[in-house]
Structure 1
C-alpha cells in the first residue's frame, strides 16, 4: 500500500506529465462543401475529406468540441495535446450527405455555422432542422452564420448607419432565436460571412457573449481576439494534405502587440507592426507574405519589433499578409495573418469609424 508521501510524489509526477502533454492553442479547420459537384474553390470531395479525417486519426490529433475548447483557452485551461477543431460554413446539405457519415464513423465532434434563410424556405440544397437534430446526436453543433449571408459591412442604397446596424442586429439575433426555437440551445458562436467585421460588429458580438470567427488564417490562443478568431481554410486550393499538415502543426505567433492600421486598406500599401514577447525565437527566420505580391519588406525597428510592408497597394477586395516563423525545434511554425478590405465607392461599405 502506498504511503501518503509516495501518493503525493506519484500525483505530482502525473501532474507534470499532464502539463507536458497539454496544449495552450487550437487550430480550427474551416470547410464548406463536401461534394464532387459543388464549386471547387470552396469544396473538398468525400475522398479528400476522408483523407483529412484519417490523417487526424492516424497522426494522433484529438478532435475537440469547438465551443468547449474556446472556453478552456479563454480560462487558461490546457487542451489535450494535438487538439484540433472542425468547422463548416453555410448549411449545405452535402455536409450531411458527404461529410457527416465520415465524421460519425470516427466519432469526431464538429460545428456547422448556418445561414437560416435557405433552411427556413426548405431549399433542397440546404440542411433541414431535422437533419441538424440527427447530426447533433453524433457530435454536431450548429451556430450562427446570419440569416442571408450578407456582406456585414455594406449598406444598402440610401441606408443610414443606424438602419444598417439595425439590419445587422436582426441578421444576428434572428438566427440565435431560431437556434433556440428549433434545437433548444445556441453555442453562442458566429462566423462572419466573407470573414468581414469591424469594431461596431465585434462590439455587438461581445455584448451578446458571442465568440466570432473571421477568415484570417492562424491559431487560437488565450491572447486571441475572441470576437475575431482565426481559422485555417481546408477546402479548394487549401485541401492538399501536405499543406494541411503544416497548418495543423502551427502555433500562435508569440506577439505582445500588433498594429494593423484598421480594417480597411486605402490606395497606400498596408503595413503591420508586430511586437514579440520576450523569449528565444528565430526572429531572423520570420517571413511575411502579401497575397498576390510575394514577400513583404521587413524593417526591424528594435530587437523585438518589426514593421512588415506590402510592396504595393491592394486592389479592390480583401487582401492579407501572412507571417510565419519556425520554432526552435523546426517541427512547428508560428503563424499570424491579417486581412484588410479595400472597398470601392459603389459597394457601399460603412466608414472606418462606423
Structure 2
C-alpha cells in the first residue's frame, strides 16, 4: 500500500486585494512542501497539468525535475498528463529524462483531462477528444515497450524506424487516470495498466461497480493479478477540528469550486455540499487525523487499493496550511493506516 500527496499548484488568493499569489512564489513553496512530504515518509508526489490563471503548473515534467533535485526517494508522477493534447513522443522523452535525473522515480499518470484549455492552446479540436486519446495512448505505450518505432496514425506525423533518445534504464510506470467512464476502465484493464480513480464528488461507494469491472476485465484479458494496481486520488485535508476546517479551509475550497463551476454551468458551491462531502458517505477526506484515517482505511478495504493519493491544495491553501496538513498526514494518518494494514 502506497500513500502520497497530490497537487495542482493552486494559487493562493489574497482576499483583500483579489489577486493570486505569483506562480514563482507558489513553485518555490512547492519545493519545501515536497521535501517535507519525503521527510515524513510519504511514497509519492503527484502533480497535475493546467493552463489557467488560477494554477501555477502547466509543464509538470519541468516542475517534477526541479523537485527531483531536492528529494531522494519519493516517487514523482504527473497527475494527469493530458495526453490528448500532447505529443506522446515528447511526453515519453521528457519523462524518461526525468526518470534518469531522479534515479528511476518518475511515473506517468495519463488521462484525457477534465479541463479542456489545452486543446485550443495546442491546436486540437474537442470533437476529436476520444479519438485523440486512444491514438496517443497507443503510441505512448508502443514507445515504452519498443526501442525502434514504426507507427502511423491520424493526428501525428508517422514514425519510420525511429528511436527516442536518451534511452531509459527501465520501462516507465504508466497509469491510466479515470473519472468514472466504463470505456476508460475497460481500456486500462484490457491493456493491463494500473488505474487511478479520481473520486472528487458524490459517494466513493458509487465507484465500487467500476472497480469490480476493472478487476474482472483485467483477469479476463490474462493479466497477472499480482501486478494489479488500483489507486484513488481524492480531495484531502488534515487539520485539528471541524471548526478549523470550516473557518480556514472551506472558503478557499468553495471559491475554487465556483471558479471551475462558472465554466461548466454548476450551481454555486454550498456549505451543505461541503458538509455532505465530509460525512462518512462523502468523497471529501477531510477533518482531524482519526476521521481522515478511518475514511481512507474504509476506501482501501472497499476497493482493494494499492495506492491512495491525498490531493491537498484545492482552493490554494496558504504555504503554512499546506505544510501543516502534509505534516499531519505523514505523521498521524499514514502511520495509523500502515499499522492497520499489518493486522
Query: What TM-score bracket applies, with the shorter chain setting the length?
Result: 0.3 to 0.5
- TM-score calculated relative to the size of structure 2: 0.42
Whichever of the two has the greater Rg, that structure is 1
> More helix per residue: 1 or 2?
2
- TM-score calculated relative to the size of structure 1: 0.41
> More strand per residue: 1 or 2?
1
User: Which structure has more RCO (C-alpha within 8 Å, separation ≥ 6)?
Assistant: 2
